[in-house]
Amino acid sequence: MNIKTVSLPLLLALAASGSNANTLEHAQDIQKKTNDSSISSQKRVDMSADRTLELQTEIEQIRLEIKNLTVYRNHLSSLVKSQNNEMDSLEQQIEEVKTTRQRVVPLMYDMIDGLRQIVASGPPIKLNIRQKRIAKLDSMMSRADISDAEKYRRILDAYQIELDYGTLLEVYRGEIKVGLENIQADIFHLGRISIVARSINKMKYWSWDGNSGSWVEMNGSLNSEIDKAFNLVEQKSTSMVTLPVSLNAGGVK
């Protein structure tokens, strides 16, 4: 009886010890799982935080790009607006050029006709050269390779040459028409005031008569003065000379 009574508490103690061990192991297992879960959760939190920072960085970059694109878009809008204004201005200028051209071209033809009348009605100073100049202007007007501005400039140059004839003191050799005869002669002109001619052999002298529009042979009273005038030009010296006046009754042509 005593042996049985002693054995029972021992078995209970052993059973209790085994139960406590299982409970500890279970608790440790739970703790381990809890720790593992905490670690895993922390990793996820850390990864989420890193991703959040990355997203924030990307968002800031996108915002910066949007800002830059907005500035660039506004810049392009300003350029387009400026270009549209420039196009409008150019179109207006083109229309003005068209209008100006429509007015200038008839004016140029009128100016050439004016030159033609000046040459035809005035004294025959370098007549062939002046007529050829007008013929070139006529031909020039139909050429597409010469701009209207250049055509206008050449016409103005021709007018300037005509003006210069009114002030030049000049001697040249040319042809004069006396009656039905064409005669080679030395010609002297003092502007358009006095135009005289002398035969090559210096035997005959003529004066341009603006009233009749013809060459008139001189009687010899001023031949020496005319020779003196020729010599003054050739020698580029100065002196007083007496010359016939070639102006017509209406004034200078």
Note down pLDDT in tens along the chain; length 253 residues. Answer: 444 444 445 454 545 555 566 677 777 777 777 777 777 777 777 787 778 888 888 888 888 888 888 888 888 888 888 888 888 887 777 677 677 778 889 999 999 999 999 999 889 999 999 999 999 999 999 999 999 889 999 999 999 999 998 888 899 999 999 988 999 999 999 888 899 999 999 999 999 998 888 999 998 889 999 999 898 887 776 666 667 777 664 444 4
**To the nearest 10°, the Cα dihedral for 16, 17, 18, 20?**
80
What per-residue string of b and e applies to 9-35 under the rule 16 or more CB within 10 Å gives b?
eeeeeeeeeeeeeeeeeeeeeeeeeee
pTM of the full structure? 0.58
